[in-house]
Amino acid sequence: MTGLVNSAGIAPLSPITETSLAIWQQTLDVNVTGTFLCCKAVWAPMAEGGGGCILNISSGAGKRAHAEWVAYCASKWAVMGLTESLSLEGFPLGIRVNALCPGPAATPMRHENYPDEDQSVLLTPGEVADAALFFFSPAARHVRNAALDVRSRPHGWHA
Residues 90-126 pLDDT 10s: 999 999 999 999 999 999 999 999 999 999 899 999 9
Residue 143 scores a pLDDT above 80: yes
The residue from 69, 72, 77, 135 that is catalytic is 72
Domain residues for the domain of 78 are 57-151
72 given a catalytic annotation: yes
Q: Is residue 146 part of a domain?
A: yes
C-alpha torsion sign, points 126, 123, 18, 63: positive
**What total number of domains does the chain contain?**
1
Q: How confident is the model at residue 72 (pLDDT cuts 50, 70, 90)?
A: very high
Q: Is the pTM of this model over 0.85?
A: yes
Indicate whether 159 pLDDT > 60.
no
Does residue 38 form part of some domain?
no
- In percent, how much of the chain has pLDDT > 70? 96
